Amino acid sequence: MQIEPIKNNNNTITIVYSFNDTYSMYFSTALKSLIENSKKEIFYDIIVFSSDITEWNKRLLSDMLPQNFNIRFIDISKYLKEALNGINLKGFKYWSVEMYYRIAIPLIMRKYDKVLYLDSDTICKKDISELFNLNFENKKIIAIKDAFNLISNLDDCRETKEYILKSLKVDDVNHYFNSGVILFNIQKIDPNSYIDKLKKAFEIELTNCPDQDVLNYIFKNEIKYADLSWNLQYHIPILYNEQIEKFDKKSLDKYNKAFNNPAIIHYTSPQKPWNNPKTILAVDFWRYARKTDYYEQILHAMYENQIAQSRFAMNLYMKLQENKKVFLWGASIFLEYFFENYKMLSKNILGIIDINKNKHGKYIKKYEIFSPDILKTTQYDEIILTVVNAQDIRYKQVKKYLKENKFENAKLIKL
């Protein structure tokens, strides 16, 4: 099965997004930014990969479009089984399975010459045609380097750096790209070779950015790098502000130049502007959000999230008043929020557990982050789940993990 190009003039730009129904309201802001920075003489063909978007959301999004825009919602599930040849896709941490849909583009869009993929947590501040019309110079994709090259020499990043070099076999961390903005040179990509590499990539133990790691494994040495301003990953000053003096100066200068004049802002990391309007560069998101029919929904979701955070925080505070020795499961943003707002230190907290190896040995406030193996050698009473996003689902996942790893007697508590 193949997705058919729309019948229009030659001056058409094809852009693929991928998100689930819940994300529709946030995508509306990305779409509004794209529209307001478009050119009337260009036709923009928007294709949305998903499998659960309601007719109501399809209508609201379609109603936003001017005459030189078209939007199609493709139920990608109909294509994936055939295209991926038995590869099973699963969600990962706080990412849904939709994160993988972009990897099918070279397989199910063979009738196109080139296709631009954009993440839904992006804002366009310039017309996208400049990026779309870049010369591939005989490369298979055009992408933007990941901001990891800024922090790759930090002690905290040694394991990730080694993983990129040894597991993904990328020859230099400076060649590792971010998968949120990719221009695919479709006719240059051989589908048989691509699916072979894809299968090999899924044999690797993937880390924090599985879709990105897969694409880096497949396209290494076949990439033309566009300017960082086309994928300004905004999380660096949020998460690493205290370590900026340790950055490579040349890389930092390039980042700052892009930061001051971004063509696309990419709201990387779990800290999103729709949850915190005070976040750096959030003003750009809200400038477009208030022009959409989803504005009130976004505000309501933010309010509900804040209420939920407060409720979870109060529950955690009360749990920690009990005279029990506990581990906290999940080095989450919520946990950082809790310690920052409640100013609480407790001798009953033995530490924080997280399955992400890159976090082991680090700290949130005074509490060290451990591997789950610490449960084998330490006496404790309870484990409190401190990942609050979709907590019921995470509770089942952690319970399953504990059982599979022979921690059957572990008492896991929800907030």
How much is the average pLDDT of 24-46? 97
Q: Provide the pLDDT confidence category of residue 206 given band limits of 50, 70 and 90.
A: low
Q: Where exactly are the structural domains of the chain?
A: 12-293, 307-413
Whole-number Å distance between alpha carbons of 380 and 337: 24
Nearest to 124 by CA among 255, 256, 251, 17: 17
- At 123-144, the pLDDT tens digits run 999 999 999 999 999 999 999 9
Q: Count of residues for the chain?
A: 415
Average pLDDT, the chain: 88
The answer regarding whether domain 307-413 maps to CATH 3.40.50.720 reads yes
SS (H, E, C) 82-131: HHCCCCCCCCECCECHHHHHHHHHHHHCCCCCEEEEECCCEEECCCCHHH
Which region among 31-35, 332-336, 342-346, 354-358 has the lowest average model confidence (pLDDT)? 342-346
Q: What does the alpha-carbon distance between residue 340 and residue 381 come to, in Å, rounded to a whole number?
A: 25
d(CA 319, CA 313): 10
pLDDT at res. 239 = 80
pTM for the structure as a whole: 0.81
Q: How many CB atoms lie within 10 A of CB 213?
A: 22
Return all residues near 314 (Cβ < 8 A) that are at least 6 apart.
none
Within a 10 A sphere around the Cβ of 44, how many other Cβ atoms?
23
Q: For 12-293, give the CATH class.
A: alpha beta
| Residues 378-412 pLDDT 10s | 989 999 999 887 788 888 888 888 888 888 778 99
Q: Which two tokens stand for residue 384?
A: 């409190």
Q: What angle do CA 155, 367, 344 make, to 5 degrees?
A: 135
Tens-place pLDDT, residues 275-313? 889 889 999 999 999 999 999 999 998 888 777 778 888
Q: What is the DSSP letter of 357?
A: G
DSSP for 178-221 reads EEEEEEEEGGGS-HHHHHHHHHHHTTS---S-HHHHHHHHHHTT
